[in-house]
Structure 1
Amino acid sequence: MDRLADVDDPSLPQLQADRPARIARGALVTAVGLAGVAAAHHPMLLSGFRKIQTDLGDSRLLNYLLEHGWLWARRTPGHERFWDAPFFHPVPNVIAFSDSMLSYGPLYWPMRLAGLAPDTAFGAFLIAATALNYAAGVLLFRKGLGFGAPATAAGAGLIAFGAPRVNQLGHAQLVPFFYQILALYALCRIFRAPKIGAGERAACWVAIGLAVAAQLYGGVYLGWFFGVGLAFTAAAAIVLKLSRDAVLEVARRDWWAAATGALVAAVALIPFLTHYLPAAREFGSNFNQIQIYAHPTTESWWSLGEGNWMWGWVERRWPLKSNPFPWEHHLGIGYLTTAACGVGLYLGRGRPLIRVALATMLLGLATMTMVPGPQVANLAAVAVCFALGCLFREPDWSERGAAAFALATAFLLTASPFNDVMRTLTVVMMVFCFVRVASRPGLIDKQFAPASILAILALNSLAIPTAATMAGVLAPPALLFGFYQPARRRFVTSATIGLVLASAIWLTFESRPWILTGAALGAALGWAAGASERLRPSAVWQLRILLVAFPLVILLYGHNSLWLACSPWIPGSQAIRVPCRVVLIMVLPAALGIAAMVQRLDRGRWGAAAWGLALLCLAEQTGTTKTYDVALSRARIDDVARRIDPSAESFYYRPENDELFMFYGVDAMWAGIEAGVPTINGYSGGFPTGWWALPMADSPHEISTEAALREWSALKGLDRSRIQRIGRQAGNEVPASPPVDDEAR
């Protein structure tokens, strides 16, 4: 059991080094962390926090959410209810429209307590989160997995400073990752510590549950991906023979502790679900189109973005194909790092943990990569034809051969009638069943199974009246011929059944000739490919081919990825508008791969080469991100805040220019905090019903801002006379009581 996570021999030279050498190596690991933090956040550090990563939109929104949490903790008027922040007034539960950032508050609140301004505190929060990610990574790789210093620095550095995380700094909810790393460390304790007591194991399981809950309270993406990722990893560990015994042993031993951890997590998530589930019901599945555009492609996994220091020129020379969200597709970790990761995972595949990580990564890449769905479905159908042809060529079926036959039948019977590829495979199966029956005369017991399945598939797929008509036409001459030629009755019977079957297939699918053509080619290919007994795979491999190929045919027909096909059936997946962000979880097996590669060099007494590879791979991650000017942001906010009437019930701000609503919406949200007045403006991951008329107002073919405000007031039961209008044509507003002294910009 303790060997599942064992990646190295504890007698390695670096673990036996004397104290000065260990201190030196620890100092190097710390130096790598400091250099990584400086590289990731150098635009802020070099500007003395006069510039903040990364933009005036999402960054300031997430800063606002952190600030609202701080004001809620201080019980500031207007912020007494955490979930009802004062924007989109008077809509409740608006925090659930986006990531709440609540569990990240303990990183932000001390900055505010120390007197830092909100924007400066936000920059310090980003740095602190990155540093904690690295520190937690060091704990995981060094203490949890037993790696040496260079491997620890490489693995922890890729987690904390990897290019995908740097490219997502504009989405601050995706930066803190230490909760998940601590959960993985707890798992390492459970699997690797041979003398760990029941109490500590229970504490570890509870810590895992609370870590997942805490991550969800901070940001839905990382929490959801981590939870689903753990489930897939556990499934892979059970399927793989090398790790199965260890996982099942822990399951038998700790089922009560794991159940306790799950129960604690469920209780902790009750407030979360109470607020997020209503928001999910309101938004429904309106994000499916966004999911398609923000779905990884093959190119995405190699793109590091224009800001990358080593490989930005590649992006500038060969930019990603036109996409509404190109910034979400920078998922690469560098060419050298990818190679080192792949080699490390491959060479270490004999170790249980690394094999599980390799399987999980391959499964993640296969699931989350956009592919030409119809073409892949057709290739999978060819594999099915090959496996079926080999199966029906076998003179006698073993237990696994019978299982493959039953499995194929089950898939075909449950196929959608609108899936033409599965209809084609159904015809192929009927042809093979007929050939099997016709080629084994006199062996009734051997004919029963294929004959039964042939009848069932025909009843399920063919036009029965047509088949009955053809049988009625062909049966009399067949009976007459059999009466006068008794020696050939078996041949006549088979030929008649074949003609009835062929004519029924033809007449059923004559409007879809591609099914007939595909079935003819598939049956011929499968039968010919299985002719050579020497080249015929075993029954086990036939079963495996069918287990993989059939789901691909079903899932990828009409879809361009397994994620798009399966996500509607996974709870919570509709909240994942940007599937590309799965890279922030997949970087974990990648980090294990690079650590394993560096460790191999270090174990072979190539210490300098190990450090060189680690530093070179981390150098591939570095880049420069965008920033916004703090002074400009404050001036924008102050310009709105100074014109807010404190006696107004709420206000709505619309600048004179045609700036994007997200930027002036965030200005209004921050101005509302300064003035202590809620705003109808807003920007978030979702938007209230009926609100979109406001930012669209004054556009061609749209109503005016004043009409949109009146509609919003009527919809929400507000008194329009108590809503202050600031900015564009503010002089046309209905005056508040008392009148507001405000000039239109």
Structure 2
Amino acid sequence: MSAPLAPPLVSSARPSLSWLWGLLGWAVAVGLAHHAVLGSGLTVLQGDEGDVRFVHYVLEHGWRFVHGDAGHERFWDAPFFFPVRNTVAYSDPLVGVLPLYAVWRALGVEPDRAFALWVLAVTSLNFWAARWFLSRPVGASVGAATVGAVLFAAGASRINQANHVQLLPQFYSLLALGAVVMLARAETTRQAGVGWAALLVGGSVAQLLAGFYWGWFLGFFLVLAGLVALGFGDTRGVLLRGLRLHGLALVGWGVVGAVVLWPLVGHSLAAAREVGLRSFGEAEGMIPRFATWFHMGDANWLYGWTAGWSAFARLPVEGEHRVGLGVLTPVLAGVGLWRYRERPLARLLMGVVLVTVLLATRYRGGWTPWVAVFHGFPGGNAVRAVCRMGVWLLVPASVGVALALTRLTSAGRSGVAALLGVGCLLEQGVSGATFDPAVPRADARWVAAQVGPGCRAFLYTPTLGGQPTWKYQLDAMWAGLERGVPTVNGYSGNAPPGWRFDPVVRINPVDYIRLKVAEREWIQYRDLNPTTLCRVDARPPR
């Protein structure tokens, strides 16, 4: 019985040449993904002040918990939405990637610079994990694996989501997928399988701890790949043989993984019971349309001009639908997988991509098979932005591109392979929005200065503010960190019951009355002492 993809496809390069390729590819990946940040000397961040500042807040709270700071004694009880507990569970806790931020803070790096370094570290690990996956488990040549790794780490679909910076860390998934491929090989012994099983479970657990979306998609695609594997005789045999040989190790490590995940699961379930589950209507606008799979967005270097096409312009929640990879890249990836179709892994990936697109697409009349996944697959009703699975398709895309370039290289057509590789990477170029974090940090410090002594908590309801309401919620959250006082304000994936402070800006007397009523109801609902809850309602700096 054949292995899923027997490496190497070409002879191995010398270690020194391999590392040279790796360093070059790493520099290209980081530069392609974060050229604006690097060009500014790490003084700007990609995206806008919304999700980026919130992710940074969660990481900073995590660091302060590790550091033992007052007000951060309980990790799950971040000091916003006061006095609600378990607020971290309303969104991603980011435990799996907290060390990449905490190390810089421990070295004395100030928060904004530490966050920029965290972003660079995450992309770096995405690249190195992809390069290992493509060269070791997949068996691509060194150069081809390097190009594929750059595509995975800096693909347009990923960088178009840079505003949702919690979606950057995906390197744990590749460790888990690599372990699956190694477990499926006929030459992997039961003893060696114990280590690979540990990597599979450890990578899956760490990915969930790093972020819900990629952890959930990893589990979904592993199940989907297993079902697709049952449809081919050779992959079915490989799957069943692997389960027989390594099943005990998988179960044993699975129990360990479940124990590690239990706090996350417990807190997430408690949050779901408090705020309720999402309805399918909340996800409907972010279900992929046919055009979604080709949409590059207006910030793409080569294809930004297509953003005005009617098929793209009428997409709802348009930013979430930017998951296209260009023209050359998907064609080359498809050719690479097809040319290696005699290998079970290539056929398996083609099958998974086909089933994924068929399942997730919204068809004419508004019908989509995804509604069955939303209601039937565990955790599916927590996946609102289904379009983000387009970023997950960077995995088969990078494998296909690496295989295509490997075949060209082994046929003595290295020049053609190099030109095609450069062309694929140029298609991924994106110049998105950036902001200077020093500006909102100054705003937050201004709010902090308005919080007087004796305040047990505060509520920020700015008068005549001209910015989006979420900006002032985040200003209050960061001001709470500056001042060491919790805030009633909040910004997250969910809001607690009874919290009605959105929008939080006072523009007219109606807003004043609405917010006063919301404050009185919150005090009563949460049994607060109104004399220790301070109101900050001055006109903001901007």
SS of 1:695's equivalent in the other structure is: coil
How big is each residue's C-alpha offset from its partner over 1:247-279, in whole Å with a ceiling of 9 and x where there is no partner?
111111111111112212211111011100121
1:82 maps to what in 2? 75
1:3 maps to what in 2? 3
Q: Report the CA distance between 1:594 and its aligned residue.
A: 1.2
2:266 maps to what in 1? 274
Which of 475, 493, 501 is equivalent to 1:685? 493
More displaced 10-residue stretch of structure 1: 610-619 or 223-232: 610-619
Which of 363, 367, 391 is equivalent to 1:584? 391
Decide whether the 8 Å contact of 2:49 with 2:471 is kept in 1. Answer: yes
SS of 1:371's equivalent in the other structure is: coil
Decide whether the 8 Å contact of 2:469 with 2:505 is kept in 1. Answer: no
SS of 1:250's equivalent in the other structure is: helix
Decide whether the 8 Å contact of 1:652 with 1:681 is kept in 2. Answer: yes
* Separation of aligned partners in 2, 1:319 and 1:305: 12
* Pairing 1:336–2:143 present: no
How big is each residue's C-alpha offset from its partner over 1:572-629, in whole Å with a ceiling of 9 and x where there is no partner?
1111011011122222112111111111111111011112211210111111121111
Q: Report the CA distance between 1:245 and its aligned residue.
A: 1.3
Q: Report the CA distance between 1:660 and its aligned residue.
A: 2.1
1:570 maps to what in 2? 377
1:630 maps to what in 2? 437
Which of 140, 144, 155 is equivalent to 1:151? 144
How is 1:361-372 mapped onto 2 (pairs within 5 angstroms)?
361-372=353-364
The 1:287/1:254 distance shift into structure 2, 3 A limit, reads same
Q: Report the CA distance between 1:683 and its aligned residue.
A: 0.1
Aligned partner of 1:288: which letter?
F
* Separation of aligned partners in 2, 1:67 and 1:337: 38
Aligned partner of 1:705: which letter?
L
Decide whether the 8 Å contact of 2:373 with 2:380 is kept in 1. Answer: no
1:727 maps to what in 2? 537
How big is each residue's C-alpha offset from its partner over 1:427-460, in whole Å with a ceiling of 9 and x where there is no partner?
xxxxxxxxxxxxxxxxxxxxxxxxxxxxxxxxxx
Q: Report the CA distance between 1:648 and its aligned residue.
A: 0.5
* Separation of aligned partners in 2, 1:287 and 1:637: 34
* Separation of aligned partners in 1, 2:420 and 2:192: 37
Aligned partner of 1:209: which letter?
V
* Pairing 1:38–2:28 present: no
Which of 696, 706, 711 is equivalent to 2:521? 711
SS of 1:239's equivalent in the other structure is: coil
How is 1:477-516 mapped onto 2 (pairs within 5 angstroms)?
none
Which of 149, 154, 167 is equivalent to 2:160? 167
Q: Report the CA distance between 1:192 and its aligned residue.
A: 3.3
1:462 maps to what in 2? none
* Separation of aligned partners in 1, 2:200 and 2:541: 55
The 1:695/1:243 distance shift into structure 2, 3 A limit, reads same
Decide whether the 8 Å contact of 1:153 with 1:614 is kept in 2. Answer: no
1:117 maps to what in 2? 110
2:182 maps to what in 1? 189
* Separation of aligned partners in 2, 1:192 and 1:607: 29
Which of 321, 345, 349 is equivalent to 2:341? 349
Aligned partner of 2:472: which letter?
Y
Q: Report the CA distance between 1:95 and its aligned residue.
A: 0.5
Aligned partner of 1:573: which letter?
G
More displaced 10-residue stretch of structure 1: 634-643 or 24-33: 24-33
SS of 1:652's equivalent in the other structure is: strand
* Separation of aligned partners in 2, 1:683 and 1:296: 26
2:451 maps to what in 1? 644
* Separation of aligned partners in 2, 1:95 and 1:319: 38
2:199 maps to what in 1? 207
Aligned partner of 2:280: which letter?
N
* Separation of aligned partners in 1, 2:541 and 2:100: 40
* Separation of aligned partners in 2, 1:744 and 1:561: 46
Which of 408, 428, 431 is equivalent to 1:621? 428
Decide whether the 8 Å contact of 1:5 with 1:191 is kept in 2. Answer: no
2:307 maps to what in 1? 315
How big is each residue's C-alpha offset from its partner over 1:178-228, in whole Å with a ceiling of 9 and x where there is no partner?
11111122223323372x443431222122112211111121000001011
The 1:192/1:615 distance shift into structure 2, 3 A limit, reads farther
How is 1:465-476 mapped onto 2 (pairs within 5 angstroms)?
none
Q: Quote the RMSD (CA, aligned, Å).
A: 2.1
The 1:33/1:318 distance shift into structure 2, 3 A limit, reads farther
SS of 1:655's equivalent in the other structure is: coil
Decide whether the 8 Å contact of 1:653 with 1:681 is kept in 2. Answer: yes
1:597 maps to what in 2? 404
* Separation of aligned partners in 1, 2:36 and 2:279: 33
How big is each residue's C-alpha offset from its partner over 1:9-31, in whole Å with a ceiling of 9 and x where there is no partner?
4xx3x42x5x4xx6335423421
Question: What TM-score do you get using the length of structure 2 for normalisation?
Answer: 0.95
How big is each residue's C-alpha offset from its partner over 1:540-574, in whole Å with a ceiling of 9 and x where there is no partner?
xxxxxxxxxxxxxxxxxxx6111123321111111
* Separation of aligned partners in 1, 2:202 and 2:355: 27
Which of 285, 288, 303 is equivalent to 1:293? 285
SS of 1:642's equivalent in the other structure is: helix
* Separation of aligned partners in 2, 1:718 and 1:124: 40
Q: Which runs of 5 or more structure 2 residues have no equivalent in the other structure?
A: none
The 1:25/1:694 distance shift into structure 2, 3 A limit, reads closer
Aligned partner of 2:195: which letter?
A
Q: Report the CA distance between 1:243 and its aligned residue.
A: 1.3
The 1:706/1:200 distance shift into structure 2, 3 A limit, reads same
More displaced 10-residue stretch of structure 1: 707-716 or 314-323: 314-323
Q: Report the CA distance between 1:358 and its aligned residue.
A: 0.3
* Separation of aligned partners in 2, 1:218 and 1:645: 37
Decide whether the 8 Å contact of 2:500 with 2:518 is kept in 1. Answer: no
**Equivalent pairs, count:** 539
Q: Report the CA distance between 1:706 and its aligned residue.
A: 2.1
2:171 maps to what in 1? 178
More helix by percentage: 1
Identity %: 35
Decide whether the 8 Å contact of 2:7 with 2:137 is kept in 1. Answer: no
The 1:646/1:334 distance shift into structure 2, 3 A limit, reads farther
Which of 114, 127, 134 is equivalent to 1:134? 127
Q: Report the CA distance between 1:169 and its aligned residue.
A: 1.2
* Pairing 1:284–2:276 present: yes
The 1:643/1:610 distance shift into structure 2, 3 A limit, reads same
Decide whether the 8 Å contact of 1:33 with 1:131 is kept in 2. Answer: yes
* Pairing 1:327–2:135 present: no
The 1:691/1:117 distance shift into structure 2, 3 A limit, reads same
Q: Which runs of 5 or more structure 1 residues have no equivalent in the other structure?
A: 374-558, 730-742
Decide whether the 8 Å contact of 1:369 with 1:561 is kept in 2. Answer: yes
Decide whether the 8 Å contact of 2:58 with 2:93 is kept in 1. Answer: yes
